[in-house]
Amino acid sequence: MSEKLSKEDFVLQAIKKLRSDKSKGIHVKFSGFNSAFKEYFGEEARATVDKMVAEGKLQSRFVKGGVMIYLPGEMPEQRDVLDQILGGA
């Protein structure tokens, strides 16, 4: 059996493997991330995610139903989202 991932490595790997072509981030609930984290570590992911955001190792944004998490520098600017919705560049 391979060595267990650290919480930080698990979160970073989850983002890379669970994100879609449309988004560089993942929704912690709808992607299945929260459930997988709890199954792997036996605890909720929130404290780990909050700590990583505070340390600058992740970025997050509140969205309907939970939170989107992103690798540093990959979270779209709010203006980019508005432009995309309105059909701008």
Per-residue model confidence as pLDDT tens digits over 7-61 = 999 999 999 999 988 889 999 999 999 999 999 999 999 999 999 999 999 999 9
| Per-domain residue ranges of the chain | 7-86
**Fold of the domain built from segment(s) 7-86:** Arc Repressor Mutant, subunit A (1.10.10)
Q: CB pairs under 8 A, 24+ apart, for 69-75?
A: 69/11, 69/15, 69/25, 69/26, 69/28, 69/33, 70/15, 70/24, 70/25, 71/12, 71/15, 71/16, 71/24, 74/24, 74/25, 75/24, 75/25
Residue 38 confidence (pLDDT): 98
Q: In terms of pTM, does the model score above 0.85?
A: no
Select from 57, 67, 76, 60 the least CA-distant residue to 29: 67
